[in-house]
Amino acid sequence: MAALKTVLYLLVYPGLIFLFVYSTFAEWFDRKVYARLQNRMGPTHTGRFGLLQPIADFVKLLSKEDVVPDRADKTLFSVLPVVGLAVVITAGLLLPVWYFEGSATAMVSFSGDIIILLYLLSLPTLILFLAAWSSTNLFSTIGGTRVLTMLFGYEVPLFMSVLSPAILANSWRLSEIALFYQHRPLLILPNLLGFVVALICVQAKLERTPFDIPHAETEIVGGTFTEYSGKKLGFFRLMTDIEMVVSSGLLATVFLGGFPGGLWLGLLQFVGKTLFIIFLLSAMRAMTSRIRVDQVVHFAWRWLAPLAVLQLLIVILIKGLLL
Amino acid sequence: MKFQIPIGPQHPALKEPISLRMTVEGEVIRDADIRLGYNHRGVEKLAEQKNWIQNIYLMERICGICSHSHSTCYVQGVEKLMEIEPPRRGIFIRYLVSELERVHSHLLWLGVAAHEAGFDSFFMYTWRDREVVMDLLEMISGNRVHYAINTIGGVRRDLDEGQIKKIRDGIKILRERSEFYLKIGSTEPTFVGRLAGVGYLSKADAIALCAVGPTTRASGVAIDVRKDDPHAFYDEVPFDLITADTCDVLGRTVVRIKEVLESYKICEYIVDNLPAGDIAVKAPKKAKPNEVVSRYEAPRGENIHYIKANGTDKPERVKVRAPTLGNYAATVVMLRNGFIADIPLIFAAIDPCICCAERVVELVDARSGEESVVRFSDLRALAAKRRPVRSVKGNVPWPL
């Protein structure tokens, strides 16, 4: 029975199949919201309400010709998309979504898993940089350096803002943090500032407007992905989608009290909360213009980092005075 | 480390082929080199083989966005050559289309600039509202792009009361929307942060490099053919000349949106004061030997046509100076010491219409970089040599 559950966990929920299906749904939702905010229709053609459009796009990319540039580092170039996909799916397993027998433990839950999750979510950035560097295209190289430059901006504020609720909950374990806020819902409020900071940082991590600088189409063509085509590009796109789901799952766990209620209610909570965060991300994407890479670093250290420090201070004060 | 990045001839930021070679150091541009000649169409040569009337429609096809500018500029010149004066109602309708075209061109530019800056929502909104003015133009002229409303001695279509009412309603919607865009374009923090201080062109440079149109006006130079050398009825229309003194892309954006608001004023003046009478006079077939320079304020800047007649029904020479050509020299100065991220913005800010400005093809050997001159007859011989079978097949007589 336990073995079956493990297999189910790895392959069905919240493993491969669920992440694949849900991330394509999340992409559809993101595209639809973005389109409606821009007075467009968004996907309508494939499936009901265009629901199958992201899957159709993925299958189409899988069947396309796969070109590897002559001067590229061929092994690295081909391996990176798969590694990136594996990394984000592994990160997805760490989310506390399925509680066994009512005990507050996820399948892969241990003290310090929040750090592992943050680390696994940082890896795709490095993978994108390596992918850009190994394709040796001029536009890719510029995109790759932009990826790294941005990393120096948003990574520290993201860590600080995500870890401050953990400090308040006095635990480095995602399921315990979620449980803490389920029992004391009012304590979610002091973390709102951190939530906003983390939301902006996640937007930067996912390289969406206003932070879509590494693949700014009008400036550097495809940027990081200029040389990628076919399957490899498909994997990278899927990676970004799953990364979006996992990072919004992380924010929902840490800031919005996780997903209690067993399998079905928990699933419902997971979908509701992550969609809420994805909606905020889409709205941010629709309402802003792309900024320059130096402006990102400037903005991150001028505003985001101090706000994250302020959040830490608030958390420490509350912890000292109230708890 | 200095290296060269090629922007174009094919690049997502460019809607038409042009090659910008940027020498960059990290993210900073040190030098720019503009190469033209990817889409030379020989319009001026073709104009010498067509008669005065046919040339109106040829001139209209120089540009797809400011088509009316070229045909109006040409028609103005030819009317002077033929010594005819179009009736006032014809003039009013002609320049009503001019101003509506300016509105559509500026709204289009606003969308393009927003897209280059990565602000796609703004792009979608401006282009949605541009449909209003496109519909008005279609209602007036019957076409959305090449209006074909000009003819020598007036216009080809009249306006009726219903159309005038629709124009009034359309302008009301457009004015409301444009005021909203002015607010967004000058206050949205990420958009303004992206545009302010980018592509600096000082007032002295703008004058020295003969820049034209909104690019110059955003550098604080008050030039506008409609004010400096009022053609047709512009001396009696109340409108303001818009300038800005920020000298950057933000200034160019603000100037264009405010110009759109001025255009609404002109359009309203036209429909309020539309005189009665004919819309065109009959024009002679031939023009006496003479020459004329016609100036016109196109949406992108001053458009100049030089027309020479030799007494026949065809022009001896038509020379077109499209406004984009006047702005290239200034673009190089604007690009220097900017960021790579700003290339599309700075280049888009002159509102380039590349095919309008193409006058020559340069033959450069791709391997050695050597330039050569080839006669047209040689080119034809070369083509015949490379495709001997096809040319023979084409000449085979019908066997029966």
- Say if the Cβ atoms of A292 and B116 lie within 8 Å: no
Structure tokens at B239: 């409108």
**CATH code for the domain of B99:** 1.10.645.10
pLDDT, tens digit, 9 for 90 and up, residues A254-302: 888 877 777 788 888 888 999 999 999 999 998 888 888 888 898 999 9
Mean local confidence (pLDDT), A138-154: 88
A105 has pLDDT over 60: no
pLDDT of residue A99: 59
Structure tokens at A70: 């002559």
Share of chain A above pLDDT 90, in %: 33
Q: Comparing A322 with A283, which gets the higher pLDDT?
A: A283
Confidence class for position A101, pLDDT limits 50, 70, 90: very low
Count the neighbouring beta carbons within 10 Å of the beta carbon of residue B371.
9
Identify whether B366 is part of a domain.
no
pLDDT of residue B396: 64
State how far the Cα of A223 lies from the Cα of A313, in Å rounded to an integer.
Answer: 39
In B, minimum Cα distance to A286 occurs at B121
Question: What domain range includes position B170?
Answer: 43-357
The domain locations on chain A are 21-321
A142 chain-B contacts, CB cut-off 8 A: 5, 27, 340
Identify whether B56 is part of a domain.
yes
Q: Where are the alpha helices (DSSP H) in chain A?
A: 2-7, 16-37, 53-62, 74-93, 113-134, 138-169, 174-183, 192-205, 217-220, 230-255, 262-287, 293-299, 305-321
State how far the Cα of A317 lies from the Cα of A190, in Å rounded to an integer.
Answer: 11
Task: Give me the residue from A221, A286, A292 closest to B341, CB to CB.
Answer: A292
pLDDT of residue A102: 44
Mean pLDDT, chain A, rounded, equals: 86
Task: Give me the residue from A219, A288, A290 closest to B340, CB to CB.
Answer: A219
pLDDT of residue B34: 86
As for how many domains chain B has, the answer is 1
- Closest-CA distance, A286 to chain B, in angstroms, reads 6
- Say if the Cβ atoms of B341 and A219 lie within 8 Å: yes
Q: Which helix (H) or strand (E) holds A207?
A: none
Using CA atoms, how far residue B142 sits from B68, B145, B146, B156, B157, in Å, is: 13, 10, 9, 11, 9
B114 chain-A contacts, CB cut-off 8 A: 289
- Closest-CA distance, B27 to chain A, in angstroms, reads 8
- Closest-CA distance, A258 to chain B, in angstroms, reads 33
Identify whether B7 is part of a domain.
no
pLDDT of residue A278: 93
Q: Which of A138, A220, A289, A294 should we substitute to test contact with B (largest number of B Cβ atoms within 10 Å)?
A: A289
State how far the Cα of A148 lies from the Cα of B12, in Å rounded to an integer.
Answer: 24
- Say if the Cβ atoms of B120 and A218 lie within 8 Å: no
Interior/surface letters A38-54, b for 16+ CB within 10 angstroms, e for the rest: beeebbeeeeeebbbbb
- Model ipTM? 0.84
Identify whether B301 is part of a domain.
yes
Q: Check if A210 contacts B (Cβ < 8 Å).
A: yes
- Say if the Cβ atoms of B339 and A294 lie within 8 Å: yes
Q: Which helix (H) or strand (E) holds B268?
A: helix B249-272
Taking a C-beta distance cutoff of 8 angstroms, is the pair B322, B225 a contact?
no
Q: What angle is formed at CA B107 by the lines to CA B104 and CA B109, rounded to 5 degrees? A: 110
Identify whether B343 is part of a domain.
yes
Q: How many CA atoms does the CB half-sphere of B187 hold within 13 Å?
A: 6
Q: Which residues contact A42 (CB under 8 A, 6 or more apart)?
A: A31, A32, A33, A34, A35, A36, A50
Mean local confidence (pLDDT), A188-211: 89
Mean local confidence (pLDDT), A136-160: 89
Instruction: Specify the pTM.
Output: 0.86
> Could you please report the per-residue DSSP string of B128-176?
HHHHHHHHHHHHHHS-SS----EETTEES----HHHHHHHHHHHHHHHH
Q: B371 pairs with which residues across the strands? A: B364
Confidence class for position A70, pLDDT limits 50, 70, 90: confident
pLDDT of residue B388: 66
Q: Which residues contact A239 (CB under 8 A, 6 or more apart)?
A: A81, A84, A85, A88, A124
Confidence class for position A106, pLDDT limits 50, 70, 90: low
Structure tokens at A299: 């903005």
Task: Give me the residue from A40, A142, A286 closest to B340, CB to CB.
Answer: A142
A138 chain-B contacts, CB cut-off 8 A: 3, 5
> Could you please report the per-residue DSSP string of B273-338?
S---S-SB----S---SEEEEEEEEETTEEEEEEEEE-SSSSEEEEEEE-HHHHHHHHHHHHHTT-
Taking a C-beta distance cutoff of 8 angstroms, is the pair B339, A292 a contact?
yes
Identify whether B22 is part of a domain.
no
- Which backbone phi and psi does A150 adopt, to 5 degrees? -65, -35
Written in H, E and C, the secondary structure of A13-38 is CCCHHHHHHHHHHHHHHHHHHHHHHC
Identify whether B400 is part of a domain.
no
Identify whether B259 is part of a domain.
yes
Cα B341 from chain centroid? 25
**From first to last of its 400 residues, what are the pLDDT tens digits of chain B?**
788 888 878 888 788 888 888 888 877 888 888 888 888 888 888 888 898 999 999 988 888 888 899 999 999 999 988 889 899 899 999 999 999 999 999 999 999 888 888 888 899 999 999 999 999 999 998 888 888 898 998 898 888 889 999 999 999 999 999 999 998 888 888 888 888 888 888 888 888 988 888 989 988 888 888 888 887 788 888 888 888 888 888 889 999 999 999 999 999 999 888 888 888 888 888 888 989 999 998 898 889 999 999 888 889 989 998 888 888 888 888 888 888 888 888 888 888 888 888 877 777 887 887 888 888 788 888 888 877 655 555 566 676 6
B117 chain-A contacts, CB cut-off 8 A: 289-290
pLDDT, tens digit, 9 for 90 and up, residues B184-205: 888 888 888 888 888 888 888 8
Taking a C-beta distance cutoff of 8 angstroms, is the pair A68, A74 a contact?
yes
- Say if the Cβ atoms of A213 and B341 lie within 8 Å: yes
pLDDT of residue B383: 81
